[in-house]
Structures are given as structure tokens and as C-alpha cells.
Amino acid sequence: MKKLKYLLPAFFAFALLFISCEKEDDADPEPEQIEINEESIIPSSNMGRPNNYLGCIEISSRITTISVWDHGTVDGDIVSIIANGNTIIDEQTLNGPSDPISVDYDFGYNGYNYVTLYAHNLGDIPPNTCTVAINGVEFVLEANLDANGAVDVIVQGYGVDCSNSGGNGGGGGGNGGGSNKGDVKFWTNQDFGCGSISVELNGIGTSTISRYYPGSTPNCDPDGGGGNFNDVPAGTYTYTASCQGYQWNGSVTVTEDSCFTMQLTL
């Protein structure tokens, strides 16, 4: 009986300690704190080449599926895709949209992230171009053996959007000087046999493509070939392009002091 008298307090103390530990273990963990980037984090270069800034897209979640395929004609383009400094597709040959390369990826930040295209060749039809889809949001990247193509990828909902975008990368042939305006060049790399192509940029005006560029991507400087929209206020615009028997519809993002080249393909 005396033993029991001394054992009972020890038993209750142990029981209380066990219940306390159990409650502590069951407590909800602290929510993960995700850093919010309020400015572009595109570096000046990746893999030894400068980054040309090509625009900005917005996505709803940083945890994504990224799919990549050859833009336009499948011509043997070999690419690496870099996201936030991580090579997520490493020296792969691109097929068409029915056979994309897909990877799951967590961008790791809210607000600004980035994606870069590195070209290992120019394919049969220069430059190296690919369509990238991030959770269904599609955009086109292009690169050559001298420079990469990069875009800002913004995870929405954190007070940051593409209206703030401008990139820290190499930039295209824009205006310079903080004008809050940029340039767009619509172009083709072949003659579609349908005559001149009329392009309407919603709210801006129209331009006519009167020549094609089989060897390289043109810049945004007026060159007599048409398809130019210069000194356009930064923002996202829808466009319609057409010639006899063909029509293209889509959107382009104009960013301050940069040149965006939009290739029309069959």
C-alpha cells in the first residue's frame, strides 16, 4: 500500500507529460513563408550568353507543369530551358505540339520568376524557336547562338503584375531612356503565297508585312518590310493578321524599351 502511495503521483506526472508532448506533436506546423519578388530577377546572362528580354506572362500558381515544343515548323531545334537558374530541360530536340517535352516545376517564388531559352543549334530554319506552355499559358521564345531569349513569369496575387515588368536582362533593340514605350515587329520566314499580310494591333493601328525573312529574325527598326509598331505604350494587346486564305489571332506584351518580334507561322 505504501508503494502504491508513492507510485500514483509519479504515474500521473508521467501521464501529464505524455499528453503535453502529444498535443505539441499534433500542433499545426508554421505555414511556409514564400519569398515575394517585386522586381524582375532575370540575370544579364545564362550559360555564358546574354539574355534578350522578350516579355512577361502571368500564372496563377508557382507549382506548375511546363511543356515545350517546336514553334511553327519542326526543324530539329535543340534547346535547354532554364527556370530561375535551374536547367529543367537539358539539350533536348523539340518535336511538335502533339509530342511536347513536359516537366513539373516549382518556381519557388511568388511575384517575379523567369524562364530562358538556350539554343544549342539553329535548326533548319533559324532562329531557334519554341512554344512554352505553363499551366496552359502559352508564349514563344526565340534564341540564337549569340544570345538567349528570356521572359518574366509572374505568380499572381501578390501585388505584382506585368505592368511593372521590364526585365533586367539584355533587352532587344528598344528605344532606351525609360520611355514607357516599346516596339513590336510582326514577320514571317517564308512567302505564304497569299500576298501582303495586314496586321491590326488592337487600339494602336495597322501595318502591312510586305516581305519575309528566311535567314534570321529581323529587329524592330523600320526596314521597308512592314509589320512594325514602334513607340507603343507598354501593355498587352490582342492582334489580328490576315492575307488571302489565312488568318492569325493572338496577343503580344509590349514592355518598356524593348523589341518584341512576333513570327507568324502556318
pLDDT tens digit string along 102-135? 999 999 999 999 999 999 998 898 888 898 999 8
> What pLDDT does 10 receive?
54
Backbone angles phi, psi at 10, to 5 degrees: -65, -40
- The three-point CA angle 138-246-196 to 5° equals 110
User: What confidence score (pLDDT) does residue 13 get?
Assistant: 53
pLDDT of residue 172: 37
- Domain 181-263 carries which CATH code? 2.60.40.1120
Q: What tens digit of pLDDT does each residue of 1-19 get?
A: 555 455 545 555 555 544 5
| Residue 36 cell numbers, joined | 515575394
Task: Write down the mean pLDDT value for the chain.
Answer: 82
- Spatial CA neighbour of 71 closest among 142, 148, 176: 142
Number of neighbours of residue 137 by Cβ within 10 angstroms: 13
What percent of the chain shows pLDDT beyond 70?
82
**CB neighbour list of residue 9: distance below 8 Å, 6 or more residues apart:** none
Residue pair 180/234 in contact (Cβ under 8 Å)? The answer is yes
Quick one: pLDDT at residue 153? 93
Q: pLDDT digit string (tens) for 27-62?
A: 555 556 889 999 999 998 899 888 888 888 899 999
Higher pLDDT among residues 154 and 171, named by residue? 154
As a whole number of angstroms, the distance between CA 75 and CA 135 comes to: 25
Q: Residue 5 in 3-state DSSP?
A: helix
Q: What mean pLDDT do residues 182-191 have? A: 89
Q: Is 138 exposed, middle or buried (0-12, 13-18, 19+ CB in 10 A)?
A: middle
Ordered strands of the 63-70 beta sheet: 101-106, 63-70, 128-134, 137-143
What the block records as the C-alpha cell of 61 is: 500558381
Distance CA 97, CA 4 (A): 78
Q: Interior CA angle at 64 toward 88 and 60, to 5°? A: 135
Largest CA distance in the chain: 108
Residue 192, burial from CB neighbour count under 10 angstroms (0-12, 13-18, 19+): middle
> Does position 171 have pLDDT exceeding 50, yes or no?
no
Q: What are the residue ranges of CATH 2.60.40.1120 in the chain? A: 181-263
Q: Report strand pairing: 63-70 vs 128-134.
A: antiparallel
SS3 218: coil
188 neighbors 92 (Cβ within 8 angstroms): no
**Selection from 206, 193, 202, 192 nearest residue 233 by Cα:** 202
Bridging pattern class, strands 259-263 and 181-187: parallel
